[in-house]
Amino acid sequence: MNMPPDLSQLSPDQLRHLAATLMTQVEEKDKALRHSEQVNQKLTYELALLKRHAFGKRSEQLNVLQISLLEDGVDADIAAIETELEDLVTTDASSAPKKTPKRASLPPELPRTEIHHDPENDHCPCGCKLRRIGEEVSEKLDYTPGVFHVERHIRGKWVCDHCETLTQAPMPAQIIDKGIPTAGLLAQVLIAKYADHLPLYRQEQIFSRAGVAIPRSTLAEWVGICGVRLQPLVDALRKLLLSEPVLHADETPVPMLAPGKKKTHRAYLWAYATTPYASLKAVVYDFSEGRGGQYARDFLGEWRG
């Protein structure tokens, strides 16, 4: 533990330097706090608009299929924004209310694969041998094309009879904390939606035929959360992309329905890619509401090529 300096032993110059350092730290923390508050307010406002669109009066100018596709996107956006808000909020875990989602148990007829997580060493740090006293089981839903199966993660509980220390292996990190989908199932949903152009309502039908009913609203939540979790990968890929001397860029118009409005307007999806001759094969997409040069400058930043 670092002891605070004895201010009486410091020279005037050292005191001035210490005061300047402390003021700089306070200004940096205040700036970071203001930025977090602005992001929080922006996300809260966007969430309110999306919920108003999701639960408000439907536009009569859209047919049933269009409304279904839009609802999938809105549900995904709501889940993404709620996930970002949760990441921004830093509250004491002991005082925060614990969420205990209630979900239906996975169908018992699905094949199950048991994955055991036990301590690497069966001896306590005190030197005594551990004794198994129980276990915790959590089930994750996995999917290979056409077939569902369940991963049963079994975490044994071990206790030392001498010092009464309880030992249990940690649960492997999951993309959705305490959720049922494995990374494989989430990858299947994302690939089917974005690479194979399968809307979520069709995936819902496909999964139902395979024996598991997953509502499209749940699929949309998974998509939204995965978008947030994959953002660091997108940022890293963009950084690599901007290290290339030559880039290709093009934009494609896409219809955009703003919450609260009854008709779509034109927005753009920009694609930035390396050349066919580059060693790095990469494409990064950037959504914007226009096609002006400023949008490209915002993405490229200080890149010169």
Where the chain has pLDDT below 50, the residues are 1, 3, 57-61, 91-95
Could you tell me which of 300, 296, 280 has the C-alpha nearest to residue 288? 296
User: What pLDDT score does 8 carry?
Assistant: 67
Could you tell me which of 283, 280, 292, 300 has the C-alpha nearest to residue 194? 283
User: What pLDDT score does 203 carry?
Assistant: 94
Q: How many CA atoms lie within 13 A of 41 on its CB side?
A: 6
User: What pLDDT score does 144 carry?
Assistant: 84
User: What pLDDT score does 214 carry?
Assistant: 93
Report the distance separating Cα 259 and Cα 195, nearest Å: 26
Amino acid occupying residue 277: Y
User: What pLDDT score does 219 carry?
Assistant: 94
Query: Treating both helix axes as pointing N-terminal to C-terminal, what angle do 64-88 and 216-229 enclose, rounded to 10 degrees?
Result: 40
Query: Treating both helix axes as pointing N-terminal to C-terminal, what angle do 216-229 and 200-209 enclose, rounded to 10 degrees?
Result: 120
Report the distance separating Cα 158 and Cα 85, nearest Å: 37
Report the distance separating Cα 299 and Cα 207, nearest Å: 38
User: What pLDDT score does 102 carry?
Assistant: 63
User: What pLDDT score does 77 carry?
Assistant: 72
What's the DSSP call for residue 161? T
User: What pLDDT score does 258 carry?
Assistant: 73
2: left (phi over 0), alpha (psi -120 to 50) or beta: beta
Report the distance separating Cα 131 and Cα 119, nearest Å: 12
Report the distance separating Cα 252 and Cα 291, nearest Å: 9
Q: Tell me if 243 sits within 8 A of 227, measured CB to CB.
A: no
Report the distance separating Cα 53 and Cα 259, nearest Å: 5
User: What pLDDT score does 98 carry?
Assistant: 52
